[in-house]
Amino acid sequence: MTHLEKAVELQKNGYHCSQAIVGAFANELGYNLKDCFKISTCFGAGMREGGTCGCITASFMVLGMAFGFYDPQDKELELYGNKKAEEFLALFKERMAGDITCKAILGQDISKPEGLAVIRKEGLMLKLCPRAMRVCIAIVEEMIDDYHKRKNDFSHQNTAEEAIDLTSIINQADKRRKFTGNVTKLLDSTDKKVAFVQFDIKRFKIINDLYGEKFGDEVLFFISENLKSLCGDRQYFMNLRADVFSIVTEYETDSELDDLITRLEQNFVEFKEVKLQLSFGVYTVEDREMEIRQMEDRAAIARKAAKAEVVTNRLFYQEQFKELLYTRKFIEENMNAAIDEKQFQMYLQPKYSISRNKIVGAEALVRWIHPQRGMVYPGEFIPIFEENGFIRKVDYYIWEEACHFLKRCADLGIRDCPVSVNVSRQHLKDMDFMQVLVANIRESRIDKSLLELEITETANDEKISKMAEQLKKDGFTLLMDDFGSGYSSLNVLLETPFDVLKLDKKFMDNMMASEKGKLILEHVVAMAKKLELGLLAEGVETKEQVELLSKIGCDRVQGYYYAKPMPQEEFFEMLCKDRGVLEKNMQK
């Protein structure tokens, strides 16, 4: 039977259109028919109110089942899924002449008793719903066929780069689905213990910076290929993301796990004469009913803890790590409300001129003030937001706040205190953020030069460098954040048109520790001047640092020696006093 024939048969047997469409595809996609009926009942709930046709929501469910859109941390896959949903809806509207609600399709309002009575009396669902079902099923079949063709055929893509990106997303989704399925079967079938072993490469970013991202990809391929021979039939592995790998294995004794980790270390000690150091986190499964994602989270927490260890590079998950899990859960459950309720606040840290002892700018930072929990520190939520993509919304919010602050200052005649905001690597991968920046500046009616952009991690990424060049052409001032924190800084200077270098705090601390370091620092300052670059030292905390920086010609500084980050109102008052603005003007 065709999908349409199955759906019509189910509808005749009393199932509504949402159940019928999902049921038509369920078995071949590997899902239990009864469970799908239960879920699709909820998917089609809008029908009862005369809202969006249940065929549409059911089709979205089928596409999700077919493509594997279930991983909330895979933002690329989520974006691809959203694109497919928009594509489906556009096709449905076109083929149904704009009819997308039950009311429009049936010609009666199903949410009203009189309308429902007509529908039942005239059997309109059996007469008219098959049209919508036929259109939906046809579109779904086309999209699933296209999905599979794209795995092997790039010819119809606009560019080779787009083809590779799309294929990578599809392949990763397939790998993830297969991996999860195998792990589920292992948990259900084995009588042995089961462990999640997760590992990554220490300082992998530095490897990318020194040798290029192509070399980094070769390292990851080398590990993936070797895992095929290192892992047995009942050991499943996957490259989760970047340099993070996961192995799920059955075992009987702890020594088996130790042997596995030792074997991995020995096989991945180096690649093309480049030394590799691994960090391992292990979670031994206690509750097999727990979601696989939660098991992975526990292994990930142990792995991250191992990265900070000096004595060992492997740690087993411990119950005291639960606090980190609770914190993550709290953050992810409250982050959307935090935006809506303006719990995020912009703090500003002044930038000073040593010679004039005057404020010459500020850096915008984010702080989260939760109504019950109080201050949630950036070190807790920023890494999670960067991982799940929410950092974009937070950055957009801070950019808007910064523009409003600059407008407030300009209204008082203060137009010489630029505010710098962070532009992350995530933003630089697409053009959307530029539209947001320009819109905020236009709405606030401020000079573009007053909103400075701090950029990090641009090494060896041509696409990001081109984006930075476009920002420069558009008149933005670019600051290179954390200069000196890695080994790529000099290479980045060749590739990206920065205006100002921000000397990293750790770099400053290291250079201040010896006479040789101070000499290096002096030459960095001299180099910046010859390149006609501005220079700002951050993390300045002592008088000794201020005196040395002044002596070698670095006049602009930022750090606790002058001021900590503070609420914008407090900084506003400080700035007004620094500029000699009268108190009556401050009240405006």
Domains of the chain: 3-149 (no CATH), 163-317 (3.30.70.270), 327-583 (3.20.20.450)
Q: Return d(Cα 255, Cα 258) in angstroms, integer.
A: 5
Per-residue pLDDT averaged across 452-481, rounded?
Answer: 77
Nearest residue to 57 via CA among 29, 5, 26, 21:
21
Confidence band for 582, pLDDT divided at 50, 70 and 90: low
Q: Return d(Cα 543, Cα 529) in angstroms, integer.
A: 23
Per-residue pLDDT averaged across 455-482, rounded?
Answer: 75
Burial of 315 (0-12, 13-18, 19+ CB in 10 A): buried
CA distance from start to end of the chain: 74
Residue 411 pLDDT more than 80? yes
Mean of the per-residue pLDDT values for the chain?
83
Q: Return d(Cα 487, Cα 251) in angstroms, integer.
A: 41
DSSP H or E stretch at residue 454: strand 451-455
Neighbours of 270 (CB within 10 A): 10
Nearest residue to 393 via CA among 338, 322, 451:
338
Residue 496 pLDDT more than 70? no
Q: Return d(Cα 341, Cα 117) in angstroms, integer.
A: 44
Q: What is the pLDDT of residue 170?
A: 62
Range of weakest confidence among 198-207, 208-217, 248-257, 530-539: 208-217
Per-residue pLDDT averaged across 114-138, rounded?
Answer: 85
CA distances to 493, 527, 545 from 552, rounded to whole Å, are 21, 12, 11
Residue 168 pLDDT more than 70? no
Sequence-distant (≥ 6) Cβ neighbours of residue 191 within 8 angstroms = none
Diameter over CA atoms, the chain? 93
Q: What is the pTM assigned to this prediction?
A: 0.59
Give the pLDDT confidence of 333-383 residue by residue, as tens digits: 899 999 999 999 999 999 999 999 999 999 999 999 999 999 998 988 998
Share of the chain above pLDDT 70, in %: 86
Give the pLDDT confidence of 300-320 residue by residue, as tens digits: 889 988 887 778 888 999 877
Higher pLDDT, 93 or 34: 93
Per-residue pLDDT averaged across 458-471, rounded?
Answer: 67
For the packed helices 322-340 and 391-411, what is the interaxial angle rounded to 10 degrees?
50
Whether 426 and 391 have beta carbons less than 8 Å apart is answered as yes
